[in-house]
Amino acid sequence: MSTADQFNVDVSTLNRFVMANTRDPDLVILMNAIATSCKLITSAVQRAGVGNLYGLAGEVNSTGDDQKKLDVMSNDMMINALVNSGVCCVLVSEENEEPIMVPKELSGKYCVAFDPLDGSSNIDCNVSVGTIFSVYEKREGSDGTVEDLLRSGAECLCAGYVAYSSACELVFTFKGKSVHGFCLDPTIGEFVHTRPNMMFPQDGGKKIYSCNEGNSNYWDKPIQDAVAAFNQGPKPYSARYVGSMVADIHRTLLYGGIYIYPADNKSPKGKLRCLYEGIPMAMIIEQAGGIASTGLFEGKIQRVLELTPDEIHCKCPIIMGGPRDIGVVYEQYKKAGIETPEL
């Protein structure tokens, strides 16, 4: 066996992949800035215990959640990298009530919305967390305002997430293209292309349902009935719920099954945020061949990607999976006389 067989001498990195798949140098710079901040975040997450980074920062974020020290650090890492990339004009972060306007001398054409640390309730017990982002291009003639981000999910140009777990893994897609996964190789400090053309399992994959069943008393009847249906029969579904959206969606994409965070009578818009949780995950799931629905939301069942956020921190319900399992949910809506889309 030659040395080259034992050691990869031709590594396909994220940077190389992005350069090969866009003619826009600004997009290369942007993805590089996102990747750099995620390397910083994974380093902080891994050192959280020894670095005294567990616990609260003492502030409350845009949605009223207590901010953890790592939420604040991750947010600063993303903002610093994106502002200084020179290719962004407006940023929206879960951790900032107001949008961040990039100073004129550093301003570029991209608008980025992000959840710097998703699943932060899991930080202190060392369970998987993540980062989620969506990218838009400012409209012609605009200097970059929130209006450039308050657009239909169908106009999102690039969406991705990073899972900080036993490995650090970045998954992203450009609009209309396939979904790709990259694992951080800590020995070279680069994201390496490990999962080309990620596809949702054709047959629906493993029979798994994933939701916070503690909310079941608040759900509408079709959702309660769908989860009851998953629990019935000779081979009921398995329940899996990490409580970090990135981890739950990553597993759903790879193994199959269904992820549900529906609207309920306590939270009529659901819990998850449209701009930096719902839309980017919906784009990835759909472009990998899955379905991303709102379930019954404001009187009808909608595609998440057809939603237009009315404010930067607005919420939307999420039901994501393959046709086999989304069909189980739609069946219950049909029984309740609600019009359901074709699968």
Among 70, 88, 114, 119, binds ligand AHG (CB under 6 A): 119
Amino acid letter at 220? Answer: D
* Token pair listed for 94: 């879960």
162: closest CA among 74, 224, 231, 81?
74
Among 120, 134, 287, 332, binds ligand AHG (CB under 6 A): 120
For residue 118, indicate whether it is catalytic: yes
Q: Kindly indicate which of the ranges 114-122, 155-163, 221-229, 286-294 contains the residues binding ligand AHG, using the contact rule CB under 6 A.
A: 114-122
Query: Rounded CA gap, 301 and 295, in Å?
Result: 5
Is 271 a binding residue for ligand AHG by CB under 6 A? The answer is yes
Query: Rounded CA gap, 339 and 141, in Å?
Result: 40
Burial label for 118, CB within 10 Å (0-12, 13-18, 19+), is buried
Least distance CB 3 / ligand AHG (angstroms):
44
Applying CB under 6 A, the site for ligand AHG has a residue count of 12
- Residue in 30, 53, 82, 94 annotated catalytic: 94
Is 251 a binding residue for ligand AHG by CB under 6 A? The answer is no
Beta strand residue intervals within 119-205, DSSP E: 129-137, 158-164, 168-174, 179-185, 190-198
Residue nearest Mn ion (C-beta atom): 118
Is 294 a binding residue for ligand AHG by CB under 6 A? The answer is no
179: closest CA among 343, 8, 10, 21?
21
- Residue in 70, 115, 148, 305 annotated catalytic: 115
Give the Å distances, CA to CA, from 254 to 130, 161, 179, 324. Answer: 16, 14, 12, 15
- The answer to whether residues 269 and 294 touch, using CB atoms and an 8 Å cutoff, is no
Q: Per-residue string for binding with ligand AHG, 72-101, x by CB under 6 A?
A: ----------------------x-------
For residue 342, indicate whether it is catalytic: no
For residue 26, indicate whether it is catalytic: no
Q: State the residue for tokens 């409580």.
A: 243
Question: Closer CB to ligand AHG, residue 115 or residue 225?
Answer: 115
Is 245 a binding residue for ligand AHG by CB under 6 A? The answer is yes
For residue 124, indicate whether it is catalytic: no
Which residues are annotated as catalytic?
A: 65, 71, 94-95, 115, 117-118, 277
Binding residues vs ligand AHG (CB under 6 A): 65, 94, 115, 118-120, 212, 243-245, 248, 271
